[in-house]
């Protein structure tokens, strides 16, 4: 749960710094680049990804409002960016802060350090869920587990129905293909199958909505059951 006092305190600091805007598809940081500043998302969503030797995109994670990136560089663990960071929303606005100034500010408030820890843990959980999804051999299982990852990390409840979760990311069939390592055609076919079984619902006007009860029935390992149990206690 977010500490609103800490968030307000952070925004007072951030609002003293310049911002930059990017259109969807624009690269904010290139892999291997030494960032010029710390970036904190003001509006929109930023996608982090790697490229395979064949040039295929391999998404690593997504960053929404108040998220800091690239975290490993910000806190001095690496000398340059490990991934590409690209605007995923139609318009993305980010704060740009000098690294030493940002780190010094964060260290002043335990609430802010805890908030950063929450973001880092969310990234770690997301990475673990995606790794678990990719370990499955069947296309249908890969997609089921990726949907569980998306529902857990980027989902929000739909008013009036506790069993339905809406994915907050504007994803295409190609995005699902990149997330699962499948072809776009296979990802589209599997999504249509899940739609017929009432696990997922979507169209051109509405985002992806998942029936969590039906989705959970398709999960078949103890790891996922434990994740569901832990999430319900938060």
**Where along the chain do its domains lie?**
4-109, 135-232
Task: Give the contacts of 68 (CB within 8 A, at least 6 positions apart).
Answer: 38, 39, 40, 74, 102, 116, 119
Structural contact between residues 96 and 39, judged by C-beta atoms closer than 8 angstroms: yes
Q: Looking at residues 75-86, what average pLDDT do you find?
A: 96
Report the alpha-carbon distance of residue 53 to residue 96 in Å, rounded. Answer: 31
Question: Which one of 126-140, 154-168, 171-185 scores highest in mean pLDDT?
Answer: 171-185
pLDDT tens for each residue of 193-214: 999 999 999 887 788 999 988 8
For strands 19-23 and 91-97, give the pairing: antiparallel
CA quadruple 189, 194, 200, 205: dihedral, nearest 10: 30
Provide the pLDDT for residue 2: 58
Q: What is the CATH architecture assignment of 135-232? A: Sandwich (2.60)
Tell me the mean pLDDT in the region 137-159: 89
14 and 40 Cβ atoms separated by less than 8 Å: yes
4-109: CATH topology: Jelly Rolls (2.60.120)
Q: Kindly state the average pLDDT of the residues 148-176.
A: 89
Tell me the backbone φ, ψ of residue 18, rounded to 5 degrees.
-70, 160
Q: Which residue has the higher pLDDT, 134 or 188?
A: 188
222: pLDDT confidence band, cut at 50, 70 and 90?
very low
Mean pLDDT calculated for residue range 56-70: 92
What is the pTM assigned to this prediction? Answer: 0.85
- What pLDDT was estimated at residue 234? 45
């Amino acid at each position: 749960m977010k500490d609103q006092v800490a968030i307000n305190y952070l925004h007072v600091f951030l609002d003293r710094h310049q911002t930059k805007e990017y259109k969807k598809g624009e690269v904010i940081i290139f892999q291997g680049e030494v960032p010029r500043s710390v970036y904190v998302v003001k509006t929109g969503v930023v996608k982090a990804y790697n490229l395979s030797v064949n040039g295929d995109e391999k998404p690593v994670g997504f960053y929404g409002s108040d998220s800091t990136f690239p975290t490993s560089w910000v806190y001095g663990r690496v000398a340059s960016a490990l991934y590409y960071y690209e605007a995923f929303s139609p318009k993305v606005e980010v704060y740009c802060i000098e690294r030493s100034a940002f780190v010094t500010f964060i260290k002043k408030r335990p609430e802010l350090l805890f908030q950063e820890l929450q973001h880092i843990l969310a990234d770690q959980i997301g990475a673990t869920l995606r790794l678990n999804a990719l370990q499955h051999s069947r296309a249908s299982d890969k997609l089921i587990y990726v949907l569980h990852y998306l529902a857990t990390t980027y989902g929000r409840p739909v008013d009036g129905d506790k069993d339905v979760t809406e994915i907050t990311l504007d994803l295409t069939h190609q995005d699902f293909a990149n997330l699962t390592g499948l072809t776009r055609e296979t990802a589209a076919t599997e999504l249509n199958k899940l739609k017929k079984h009432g696990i997922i619902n979507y169209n051109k006007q509405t985002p992806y909505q998942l029936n969590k009860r039906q989705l959970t029935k398709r999960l078949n390992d103890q790891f996922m059951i434990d994740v569901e149990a832990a999430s319900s206690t938060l």
